[in-house]
Structure 1
Amino acid sequence: MSLPRASGAEVSLDRLVAIGGLVAGKHPPGLSHGLAGGLSGPRRGEGGDLFDLRPFQDGDDLRRIDPAATARSGRPQVRSRHEEVEHTLLLVADFRPPMLWGTRGRFRSVAAAEALAVEGWRAVLAGGRVGAMIVTGSAIEMLAPRPRETAMLRAAGAFSCAHAAALDAPEAGYDSLAVLLEAISARAAPGTAVKIATGLDAPGADFGRAAAALMQKCPLELLLIRDSVEATPPTGRFAALICGRITRGRFGTSVSADHLAARCIPHRIVNAADPVLPEAA
Structure 2
Amino acid sequence: MTAALDVPGATLHCRDLLALREVALSGRQSWEPCQTMLVADFRPSMLRGLIRAFRSVAAAEALVLVGWRVAEAGGQVGLLAIGSGAPVLVAPAAGAGAMPEVISELVRAHDLAAANAMAGCLDDPPLDRSLVSLDRLTTDGELVIASGFETPGAALSRRLGMLGHTHVLRLIRITDLSFTGEMQDDHPAPDLAGASAISLDACLPPDAMARVLRSDWSQQG
Same fold (TM over 0.5): yes
Q: Distance in 2 between matches of 1:277 and 1:9?
A: 18
What count of residue pairs does the alignment treat as equivalent?
Answer: 200
Letter of the 1:177 counterpart: L
1:167 deviation in Å?
1.0
Pairwise CA distance, 1:233:
2.7
Deviation (angstroms), 1:182:
3.0
- Structure 2 counterparts to residues 122-137 of structure 1, below 5 A: 122-137=69-84
Trace 1:200-211 onto structure 2 (pairs within 5 A): 200-211=149-160
Which protein is bigger by CA-based radius of gyration? 1
Q: Which amino acid in 2 is paired with 1:223?
A: I
Distance 1:229 1:160 in 2: 26
Cα distance between partner residues in 1 of 2:64 and 2:120: 27
Q: Does 1:89 align with 2:89?
A: no
TM-score, with structure 2 as normaliser: 0.82
Letter in 2 for 1:17: L
Cα RMSD of the aligned pairs, angstroms, is 2.6
2:188 corresponding residue in structure 1? 256
Which protein, 1 or 2, shows the higher relative CO under an 8 Å CA cutoff with sep ≥ 6? 2
- Classify 1:279/1:222 alpha carbon distance in 2 versus 1 (closer, same or farther; 3 Å): closer
1:126-174 Cα deviation digits (max 9, x unpaired) = 0101010111101111100110231111111111121122112222344
**Residues 1:144 and 2:86 are matched in the alignment:** no
**Does the Cα contact within 8 Å between 2:51 and 2:179 map onto a contact in 1?**
no
1:179 has 2:129 as partner: yes
1:68-119 deviation digits (Å, cap 9, x = unpaired): xxxxxxxxxxxxxxxxxxx100001111111100001000000000000000
Within-5 A mapping of 1:152-163 = 152-163=99-110
Structure 2 partner of 1:167: 114
CA distance in structure 1 between the aligned counterparts of 2:196 and 2:68, rounded to whole angstroms: 21
Q: Which structure 1 residue ranges, 5 or more long, are not aligned?
A: 1-5, 30-41, 45-86, 235-250
Sequence identity (%): 30
2:110 is equivalent to residue 110 of structure 1:
no
Counting only pairs closer than 5 Å after superposition, residues 64-83 of structure 1 correspond to structure 2 as: none
